[in-house]
Amino acid sequence: MKTIDKTKPVLVTGATGYVAGWIVKKLLDQGITVHAAVRQPDNEKKIAHLKKMAKEAKTAIKFFKADLLTKGAYTEAMQGCELVYHTASPFVIDVKDPQKDLIEPAEKGTQNVLESANKVTTVKRVVVTSSCAAIYTDCTDCAKAPNGVLTEEIWNTTASLDYRPYSYSKTLAEKKAWEIAESQNRWDLVTINPCLVMGPPPNPHATTSESFNILRQLGDGTMKLGVPKLGMGVVDVRDVAEAHLRAGYIPEAKGRYITAGHNTDFLEMGLVLQPKFGKQFPIPNNPIPKWLLMIVGPFANKLFTHDVIRNNVNVAWKADNSKIKKELGMSFLPLQKTMEDGFQVLVDEGILKAK
Ligand SMILES: NC(=O)c1ccc[n+]([C@@H]2O[C@H](COP(=O)([O-])OP(=O)(O)OC[C@H]3O[C@@H](n4cnc5c(N)ncnc54)[C@H](OP(=O)(O)O)[C@@H]3O)[C@@H](O)[C@H]2O)c1
């Protein structure tokens, strides 16, 4: 149990990110000074929105240059912090070299950040942004889980370097985090494990997150012929940020927290957008049959392998979010609001154009 002093600065790694942007905003709005660790502190396109947030909140933000793979890179940014949010990790699905592009920054990067926490004696708590990907790979894993539902007790045992390496990277990174946390007793570790995050991107013209690509593709015609009814969980980015705040500042916060608002699927994510945007944008409203996907899927998208289709299409995704509701008092925004608010930003910013 740790009590964090709100007058002390807080480190956010990967502050330029989609999820991190909302964490930074919530911290600044509460008057908490943010140490923002980013790869390119001189790149205005990447950080202007964070500076604007700080100005609006009248709270200080200080930028530090840090790369996950540079040893000790986060030590300076951590000075004086009692609380560290480690969000930085690549969230990309289509990579050339999974070891170099995903596993190393995720696992070695986590090790790097936590080794700095071991050195900087002010640190009392580290909140790592893990993922439901560290719990499951495919929807068929839900069916195999006790009572057919994912819980914090479960670890991903099915992802590998060759099969869904992003999920593998998050599993290795979270395991590394627990290993390092358990080897000392000054700071405690809490992990936030979100499912697919949707909702408004804080910096839509420079977002690298795969969440952004998925949202854009729901409206740019890529999926106009239909989408696979692919089971997944969805959570609002603003709720994910709130979960991080509570995980940081509630003294009793402990262990892993599945952060999932809705057990849903890809088709429903499009359908909830239909009432507001369906007339103007080519949003998918019908499922592509599984048999058809088995034939055309691997040609249309190399990530749609037969195994991925077999294990996820028309298979329900179910996770138990009761721990975070009970222990951190979280509630979740409706799916329709999350999808509409995110889509609206892409429309307002001219990223999606009406037909
Ligand atoms: N979005 C989701 O659906 C989702 C779901 C569950 C968990 N998560 C987790 O949430 C976290 C943030 O993801 P996101 O969706 O917000 O993605 P994002 O917008 O792409 O953010 C990723 C962040 O990691 C930083 N980063 C990547 N490689 C780095 C390196 N070598 N050194 C330093 N920084 C590096 C990026 O910095 P640059 O801006 O310099 O590239 C960026 O700030 C990740 O840990 C992800 O696994 C996301």
Question: What is the C-alpha separation between 197 and 301, in angstroms, rounded?
Answer: 22
Q: Is the pLDDT of residue 286 over 80?
A: yes
C-alpha 22 to ligand 1 mean position (Å) = 13
pLDDT for 255 equals: 98
Q: Is the CB of 194 under 6 A from ligand 1?
A: yes
Structure tokens at 323: 């721990």
Q: pLDDT value at position 95?
A: 86
For residue 85, which of 193, 244, 224 has the smallest C-alpha distance? 244
What is the domain partition of the chain in residue ranges? 10-198+234-261+319-328
For ligand 1, whether the C-beta of 18 sits within 6 Å is: yes
Q: What is the pLDDT at residue 162?
A: 92
Residue-level pLDDT at 53: 98
Tell me, using a 6 A CB cutoff, whether residue 87 lines ligand 1. Answer: yes
Report the pLDDT averaged over residues 104-118: 98
> For 23-48, what is each residue's pLDDT tens digit?
999 999 999 999 999 999 999 999 99
Query: Rounded distance, CA 326 to CA 252, Å?
Result: 12
Is the whole-model pTM more than 0.95? yes
| Statement: residue 89 has pLDDT above 90 | yes
CA distance 61 to 59: 7
DSSP state of 132: G
144 Cβ contact list (under 8 Å, min separation 6): none
Nearest CA to ligand 1 atom 15: 209
Q: Are 61 and 70 in contact (CB under 8 A)?
A: no
Q: Which fold has domain 10-198+234-261+319-328?
A: Rossmann fold (3.40.50)
Q: Worst-scoring range by mean pLDDT, 155-164, 267-276, 304-313?
A: 304-313
Write the Ramachandran bin of 4: left for phi over 0, alpha for psi from -120 to 50, otherwise beta.
beta
Which tens digit of pLDDT belongs to each residue from 289-341? 888 878 877 777 777 788 888 899 899 999 999 999 999 999 999 999 999 99
Mean pLDDT for 261-290 is: 94
Output the pLDDT for position 22. 98
| CA atoms within 13 Å, Cβ hemisphere of 292 | 8
* φ/ψ (deg, to 5) at 175: -60, -45
Q: Tell me the CA–centroid distance for residue 232 and ligand 1, in Å.
A: 20
Q: How far is CA 12 from the centre of its chain?
A: 14
Q: Pocket of ligand 1, candidates 70, 209, 212: which has the most ligand atoms within 8 Å of its Cβ, to mutate?
A: 209
| pLDDT at 222 (0 to 100) | 87
- Identify the band that residue 94 occupies on the pLDDT scale cut at 50, 70 and 90: confident
